[in-house]
C-alpha cells in the first residue's frame, strides 16, 4: 500500500494495450442504465477529479477491469512505475432478496422473454423499486471506493477512470450491472427458467381438451364487472423520455433527454 502523502500531478506513463474509452469527448455512457450510473457518480464527485478520470479513461491508462459479484477490481497506470490497485464495492443484495427478484421477473412474461434473449427491459428498474431493492447506487454511501494512490479524493482520478469505463462496459453488456449486484448472467437466467417451470399453468393453454361450442353463446359478464375498479399502474413522469430514441441534440454538451429529465420529474402527477 503506497503511503498517502501528496496526490500525483505528473503525466501518467503510457500504457500499451490499455482499455480505452469509446467516447472521445463529452459525456460517457450511451444507454439509459449507464447514464443513470454516471448521473449518480457525477452528483457527488469532485468535478476536477472526474475530468482527470475521463482523460485517463480516454488515454487507455486502465490496464484491466474485472466485474465480480459486489466488487469491481482494476489496475490503473499513473506516473509511478507500479500501477495502482483500484476496487469498487457495492452494497450486497442478499440471497433471499435475489430469489424474490427472480420469482417476480419469471412471473412477468415480457421481462422474462427479453432477459432470456439477452436484452435488458427498460422497466426493470421500476420492478426493483417496487420490491424496495435499489438497482443503482443512490449516493456516495452506496459505493465503497478504494485505491492505493496517495490522493485522498473520493473518488481519485484512477477510481473515476475505472467508473467511467465500467459505465461503458454496462453499455456493451447490461448483465454486468446485475452481476455486480450479485447475480451473474447464467445464474440469473437459470433462476428465470426454473421460476417459469414452477409458475402456474397458462390459462390460455387448453392442452388436449377438445374444443366445443358449449357455452359459446351464453351471455358473459357485464362490461362494468370486467372493467372493475382496478388501480392505475403508476407511471414515472419521464416515461416518454425513456421510451423515445435520444435525438442527436445537446444542450450545453448534455444530451437533450438528460436536460429535459429534471423538468419531467418536477411535473405533478396527472
Pick the closest to residue 72 from 204, 186, 180 (CA basis): 180
Low-confidence winner among 80-94, 124-138, 191-205 (lowest mean pLDDT)? 191-205
Q: Quickly list DSSP for the chain.
A: ----SS---SPPPP-TT-B--S--SS----SHHHHHHHHHHHHHS-HHHHHHHHHHHHHT-EEEEEEETTEEEEEE--SSSSPEEEEEEEPPPPHHHHHHHHHHHHHSHHHHHHHHTT---TTHHHHHHHTT--SS--SGGGEEEEE-SS---SS-HHHHHHHHHHHHHHHH-THHHHHHTT--HHHHHHHHHHHHHHSPPPTT--TTPPP--TTTTS----HHHHHTTPPPPP--TTHHHHHSPPPS-EETTEEHHHHHHHHHHHSPP-
Q: What is the reported pLDDT for 196?
A: 61
Q: What is the reported pLDDT for 204?
A: 41
Average pLDDT (115-129) is: 86
| pTM for this entry | 0.68
- The label of the residue with cell 469532485 reads 46
Q: Is the pLDDT of residue 72 over 50?
A: yes
- The label of the residue with cell 459505465 reads 167
Distances (CA, A) of 16 to 9, 13, 20, 49, 60: 21, 10, 10, 23, 8
Q: Is the pLDDT of residue 67 over 90?
A: yes
Instruction: Provide the pLDDT confidence category of residue 157 given band limits of 50, 70 and 90.
Output: very high
Where do the structural domains in the chain lie, given as residue ranges? 32-199+238-260
Instruction: Provide the pLDDT confidence category of residue 249 given band limits of 50, 70 and 90.
Output: low
Q: Is the pLDDT of residue 220 over 80?
A: no
Q: What is the reported pLDDT for 78?
A: 94
Q: What is the reported pLDDT for 238?
A: 59
Q: Give every CB contact of residue 18 below 8 A, 6+ residues apart in sequence.
A: 59, 60, 61, 62, 63, 77
Q: Give every CB contact of residue 58 below 8 A, 6+ residues apart in sequence.
A: 20, 21, 23, 24
Quick check: bond before 135 cis, omega within 30?
no
Average pLDDT (148-165) is: 91
Q: What is the reported pLDDT for 236?
A: 58
- What is the residue-averaged pLDDT of the chain? 79
State how far the Cα of 147 lies from the Cα of 75, in Å rounded to an integer: 9
Instruction: Provide the pLDDT confidence category of residue 192 given band limits of 50, 70 and 90.
Output: confident
Amino acid at each position: 500500500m503506497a503511503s498517502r502523502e501528496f496526490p500525483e500531478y505528473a503525466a501518467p506513463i503510457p500504457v500499451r494495450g490499455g482499455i480505452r474509452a469509446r467516447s472521445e469527448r463529452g459525456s460517457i455512457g450511451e444507454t439509459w442504465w449507464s447514464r443513470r450510473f454516471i448521473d449518480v457518480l457525477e452528483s457527488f464527485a469532485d468535478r476536477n477529479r472526474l475530468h482527470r478520470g475521463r482523460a485517463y479513461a480516454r488515454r487507455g491508462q486502465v490496464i484491466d477491469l474485472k466485474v465480480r459479484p459486489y466488487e469491481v477490481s482494476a489496475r490503473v497506470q499513473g506516473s509511478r512505475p507500479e500501477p495502482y490497485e483500484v476496487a469498487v464495492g457495492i452494497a450486497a443484495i442478499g440471497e433471499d432478496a435475489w430469489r424474490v427478484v427472480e420469482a417476480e421477473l419469471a412471473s412477468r412474461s415480457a421481462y422474462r422473454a427479453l432477459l432470456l434473449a439477452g436484452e435488458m427491459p427498460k422497466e426493470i428498474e421500476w420492478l426493483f423499486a417496487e420490491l424496495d431493492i435499489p438497482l443503482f447506487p443512490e449516493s456516495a454511501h452506496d459505493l465503497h471506493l478504494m485505491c492505493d494512490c496517495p490522493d485522498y479524493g473520493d473518488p481519485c482520478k484512477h477510481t473515476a477512470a475505472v467508473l467511467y469505463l465500467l459505465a461503458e462496459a454496462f453499455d456493451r453488456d447490461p448483465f454486468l450491472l446485475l452481476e455486480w449486484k450479485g447475480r451473474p448472467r447464467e445464474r440469473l437466467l437459470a433462476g428465470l427458467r426454473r421460476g417459469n417451470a414452477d409458475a402456474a399453468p397458462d390459462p390460455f393453454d387448453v392442452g388436449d381438451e377438445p374444443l366445443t361450442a358449449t357455452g359459446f353463446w351464453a351471455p358473459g359478464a357485464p362490461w362494468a364487472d370486467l372493467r372493475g375498479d382496478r388501480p392505475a399502474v403508476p407511471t414515472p413522469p419521464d416515461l416518454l423520455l425513456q421510451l423515445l430514441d435520444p435525438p442527436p441534440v445537446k444542450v450545453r454538451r448534455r444530451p437533450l433527454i438528460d436536460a429535459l429529465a429534471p423538468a419531467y420529474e418536477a411535473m405533478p402527477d396527472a
